[in-house]
């Protein structure tokens, strides 16, 4: 089965899912949307009022602002996949409960495994928490992280700017830097058209350290839950996700 077909199947499973109590209050679940082949996956928190009615992600005021932000990053909606950590609206837009996040994560994990995005952009602290458990969004917004080989960029949720207008400009600037990051990544992937002969000096060079802007190997399609969780604190020398230096 192709990734596209499986993504369609997941969509149908989400539409009839009753794995957590959020199913009772929903009008429509919101599986997410976008092409099956994308470089960038945006992950928000949960559907809101308008999303619940329309079954589409980010269609309210926050969605309109997200469209502006995508433009600032040189992107169109048609180029990216957009989804949420939970696919049904929590009552009164409250934060999803841990058990709801747990029940719904199987869908997001499989979406990530199928899409294999080069970059995951988290929108807000709830989706950030899937990848970076101990992070504070006010400290790491606009930052790029390497989480077990997966590039993750942590952003404020666009809705935050609706409640705190001062964050609007912060978000625009963070997304503008995302544009630079994406183009630097694309440049790093271009093969050198003029192959150089290997010299003795080259052979003697020690292994090149990993450049933070070079593409990281894609994660295997193993259960992404392993891929996304930070090391538990009690292990010896806990290593926080590597923070890249671009931002």
> What residue ranges bind ligand SF4 (CB under 6 A)?
14, 17-20, 22-23, 29, 86-88, 100, 103-104
Report in angstroms how near the CB of residue 17 gets to ligand SF4 at its nearest: 3
Rg (CA), the chain: 19
Report in angstroms how near the CB of residue 179 gets to ligand SF4 at its nearest: 32
State the Cα–Cα distance between residues 141 and 128, nearest whole angstrom: 10
Report in angstroms how near the CB of residue 112 gets to ligand SF4 at its nearest: 15
Report in angstroms how near the CB of residue 100 gets to ligand SF4 at its nearest: 6
State the Cα–Cα distance between residues 19 and 222, nearest whole angstrom: 22
C-alpha to C-alpha distances, 55 to 15, 70, 126, 155, 161, nearest whole angstrom: 9, 21, 20, 23, 23
Q: Which is nearer to ligand SF4, 52 or 216 (CB)?
A: 52
Q: Which is nearer to ligand SF4, 29 or 150 (CB)?
A: 29
Phi, psi (degrees; rounded to nearest 5) at 6: -65, -35
Q: Which is nearer to ligand SF4, 22 or 147 (CB)?
A: 22
H or E segment to which residue 147 belongs:
strand 143-147
117-70-63 Cα angle (round to 5):
100
Residue 34 backbone class (left: φ over 0; alpha: ψ -120 to 50; beta: rest):
left
Residues recorded for the chain: 247
Q: Which is nearer to ligand SF4, 70 or 104 (CB)?
A: 104
Report in angstroms how near the CB of residue 18 gets to ligand SF4 at its nearest: 6
CA 243 from centroid of its chain's CA atoms: 15
Q: Which is nearer to ligand SF4, 87 or 157 (CB)?
A: 87
Q: Which is nearer to ligand SF4, 16 or 233 (CB)?
A: 16
Report in angstroms how near the CB of residue 25 gets to ligand SF4 at its nearest: 10
């Amino acid at each position: 089965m192709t990734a596209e077909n499986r993504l369609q199947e997941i969509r149908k499973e989400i539409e009839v899912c009753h794995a957590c109590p959020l199913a009772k209050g929903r009008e429509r679940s919101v599986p997410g949307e976008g092409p099956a082949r994308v470089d960038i996956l945006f992950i928000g928190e949960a559907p809101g009022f308008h999303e619940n009615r329309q079954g589409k992600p980010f269609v309210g005021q926050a969605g309109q602002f997200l469209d502006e932000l995508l433009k600032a990053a040189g992107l169109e909606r048609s180029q990216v996949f957009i989804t949420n950590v939970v696919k049904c609206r929590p009552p009164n837009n409250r934060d999803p409960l841990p058990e709801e996040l747990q029940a719904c994560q199987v869908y997001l994990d499989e979406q990530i495994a199928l899409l294999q995005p080069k970059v995951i952009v988290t929108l807000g602290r709830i989706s950030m928490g899937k990848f970076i458990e101990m992070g504070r969004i006010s400290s790491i917004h606009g930052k790029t992280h390497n989480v077990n080989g997966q590039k993750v960029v942590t952003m404020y949720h666009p809705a935050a700017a609706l409640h705190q207008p001062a964050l609007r400009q912060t978000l625009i600037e963070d997304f503008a830097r995302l544009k630079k990051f994406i183009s630097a990544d694309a440049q790093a992937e271009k093969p050198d058209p003029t192959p150089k002969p290997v010299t003795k000096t080259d052979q003697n060079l020690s292994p090149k350290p990993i450049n933070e802007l070079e593409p990281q190997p894609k994660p295997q399609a193993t259960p992404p839950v392993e891929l996304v969780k930070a090391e538990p604190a009690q292990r010896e020398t806990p290593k926080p996700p590597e923070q890249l230096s671009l931002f």
